[in-house]
Structure 1
């Protein structure tokens, strides 16, 4: 079962994002629970907002366990700067709390950068931030999910080994509440030859599964403006970048794409919509249709 969706525009609030996804015939969705350029370490979810969200998901026909919340971009849980790390860890914990209240499958977050060059210490700091978030939020179905990075600068989380090391820093009792997801643009930009052949793509997925002990909990389906190994995190619509359309067909036929949120984070044709307009973006609709066709063509 392919759970295709998008990070839909949330003008009018996340209930409107759900309605736009539903109008597009999506089965999955990604949203921000708060403005992503801030730490949001004190922002909660009011009961009336929760009720509107739950109603919108029901109308859209999207199950909350097929929804991913993307954490704020400013969170750098790998930084050696103690003050910035404390704010990032607090922001991640609060994000995890909001997302648990919303009842979604998981929170995906970018691990951050080892600005002092010590990657092992940075990986340990990411694990510590995750442990604090898990300790701050009661047991629930929402998971804390690392997203692989495009490998620019000193960012950590590019390789299977680094993602696996972050997850090994989680106590065994809490390990089931964590996991990871993979972004195709990030994989390609960081040097993994996923567009070379079906076998090459399978080998990459195998490496992440072996290093972490589990398959990905979500996939971000993004074509890439940058070349393989460019470390350029610039997303393009499916088939309009240097990955090309065909590898997405290979990916959708892999067992690890079944039953998890498959989320587009690609450019929108209409970047600003009215708060009360639930019309889905035409490029999202086109991409979803293309992905379904690719899945059938490569079966």
Structure 2
């Protein structure tokens, strides 16, 4: 969801143009370090719109800037990344948006041990500087490419375990179906879905999973390419998502699209998802009657 026309229009567009009940936004331009925080009037209008369109704040997600890299070996980028996330959390707090999603980072060739250390140190600093903010940082499962860290739940666990115990409750997990497919989690097969569920439970605890980025993939399993496709048009496909949703565990986790296109295309993707869900026996998997 874009914010160029104002934060207060996001709930309206979500419901009326997209036909959804959840949304993800950037709370500033994701391609620049510079911030233009919303005014008090804009914040008030946003809250009014949330109430008017009957949206639940728990079904919202803010995505951190594309420039943020908490594993960067470049000190200037590293310091700007930390400061940017602190400012993003402050805006989240004003908007009452509970989750800030971030890709853990890329070590850019310096090695995973270096990257893990940088990420853990950055998160500790962020939490030290935001002691009174309720915002939870969600570490997104990424595609295993380009020095990325966090493509397996076990790597997310290593990050969380490295953060000071006083701050670990402020960290959660966002699973991305395209990134997971890139990393070898074959959700087109029942055993693959069960394996993913078991892995999340064992490595992180199910309570850490707060959001799912629902994306098809333009490339096959284990491709490590990170190329999202529209729902049903990629290598996961309609049948793959039907298999995925045949497990009840996903029922209460908000779903957010990051598929190609704009509001009209996202509305079509949501319709495809609903068609898939209606093919599933509610007694066995996702109960579409619950919304």
Q: Does TM-score exceed 0.5, indicating one fold?
A: yes
Q: Give, in angstroms, the shift of residue 184 of structure 1.
A: 0.6
Could you tell me how far apart the structure 2 residues matched to 1:171 and 1:19 are?
40
- Taking the aligned partners of 2:176 and 2:258, their CA distance within structure 1 comes to 9
Given that 1:29 and 1:263 are in contact with CA atoms closer than 8 Å, whether structure 2 keeps it comes out as: yes
1:212 has 2:194 as partner: no
CA shift, 1:28, in A, is 0.9
**Cα deviations across residues 162-206 of structure 1 (Å, max 9, x unaligned)?**
1111111223332222111111111112232222x1221220232
Displacement of 1:256 in angstroms is 3.7
- Select which of 20, 26, 44 maps to 1:26: 20
Any idea what SS the aligned residue of 1:290 has?
helix
Contact 2:8 2:43 (C-alpha < 8 Å) held by counterparts: no
Equivalent residue number for residue 39 of structure 1: 33
Match of residue 265, structure 2, among 274, 283, 289:
283
Q: For residues 101 and 256 of structure 1, what CA distance do their matches in structure 2 show?
A: 32
Alignment equivalent of 1:221, drawn from 206, 214, 219? 214
Tell me whether 94-103 or 62-71 shows the greater mean CA deviation: 94-103
Once the two structures are superposed, the pairs formed by residues 65-80 of structure 1 within 5 Å of their partners are 65-80=58-73
- Give 2:108's aligned residue: 115
Q: Is 1:224–1:243's contact at 8 Å kept on the other side of the alignment? A: yes
SS at 1:76 equivalent: coil
Q: CA deviation at 1:161?
A: 1.6
Cα distance in structure 2, aligned partners of 1:207 and 1:30: 26
| 1:257 shift after superposition | 2.0
Equivalent in the alignment of 1:201: 193
Q: Which residue pairs with 1:276 in the alignment?
A: none
The residue aligned with 2:75 is 82
The alpha carbon displacement at 1:99 in A equals: 1.1
Higher relative contact order (CA 8 A, sep 6+): 1
SS in structure 2 at match of 1:217: strand
Q: Mapping of 1:1-299 within 5 angstroms?
A: 8-23=1-16, 24-40=18-34, 43-195=36-188, 197-215=189-207, 216-268=209-261, 271=262, 281-299=263-281
User: Partners in 1 of 2:171 and 2:153 — Cα distance?
Assistant: 15
Measured against aligned partners, the alpha-carbon deviations of 1:96-130 in whole angstroms (never above 9, x if no partner) come to: 22112211130101112112332022112112222
RMSD after superposition: 1.8
CA separation of 1:134/1:236 partners in 2, compared to 1, >3 Å: closer, same or farther? same
Gaps of at least 5 residues in structure 2 are: 282-291
Gaps of 5+ in 1: 1-7, 272-280
Equivalent residues of 1:148, 1:159 under 8 A apart: yes
